[in-house]
Amino acid sequence: MGIPSIFVGGTGTDVGKTHVAAGLVRMLREMDMNVGVMKPYSAGQHDGTGISPDARILADAAGIPPTPEMNPHHQALEAPPYTGSGAAALHPTLMVERYRRLAADRDVMVVEGMGGLLVPILPDYFMADLARDMCLRTLVVADNAVGTIHHTVSTLLACRHRGTEAAGIVLNMIRDGYGRDLLQDMLRGVTDTPVLAALSRSGRPGHLDGVDAGALLGI
């Protein structure tokens, strides 16, 4: 059975999507897979090249040089690609084409979203729609802040409504919020999507120490 490519989405910003995506890439490389990475949309500061820090982290994990092809749309304004101001993001159809080109000579792809799964790219087109159109399951990354249950359940409903399968949940225990056991118990009570890992804040940056690679990758 082949290893399925995956879209790493989040319940919001700053929940650790890049950390999880980079860890997945390293796991796959340790399995001797030829891994491709992509950060389709990004925002915020960069080093003058137009490539985001997150895309550079993914490229480093994959052992390949960062290129504009793997991070096609970066904007300085920390806002969704669609802002309503008339500024045009790269159209999702073109983004999917670029994804397919990157994937053509790779065994597996790890694609990281931007913000939460309902971040708009067009007025009625969201990150979850991009995952669906790339034919990717979505790994949902959540933190342990108060409010995480609402954010996670809302994200899972967005996956279902927009047509991308939720492959599972990864918890990043990075806040002074819910404890691991309580958070997992609450999530098990309100959703049937499995919690595949709960990552400690003491883990190495870009590594998913102690995680079951098979469970996380769906193999």
| pTM, 2 dp | 0.93
pLDDT at 57: 95
Please say whether the beta carbons of 66 and 55 come within 8 A: yes
Q: Which two three-digit tokens encode residue 28?
A: 């796959």
Q: Which of 19, 26, 39, 162 is catalytic?
A: 39
The domain ranges of the chain are 151-219
Q: How far is CA 98 from the centre of its chain?
A: 17
- Looking at residue 38, its amino acid is M
- Note if 39 is an active site residue: yes
Helix axes 180-190, 148-162, angle to 10 degrees: 40
CA angle, 183 as apex, 180 and 188 as ends, to 5°?
120
pLDDT at 202: 62
User: Comparing 33 with 219, which gets the higher pLDDT?
Assistant: 33
Q: Which pLDDT band, with edges at 50, 70 and 90, does 1 fall under?
A: very low
pLDDT at 115: 94
Q: What percent of the chain has pLDDT over 70?
A: 94
Q: Is 48 exposed, middle or buried (0-12, 13-18, 19+ CB in 10 A)?
A: exposed
Q: Measure the CA–CA gap between 7 and 174, rounded to whole angstroms.
A: 21
pLDDT digits (tens, 9 = 90+) for 12-65: 999 999 999 999 999 999 999 999 999 999 998 777 788 999 999 999 999 999
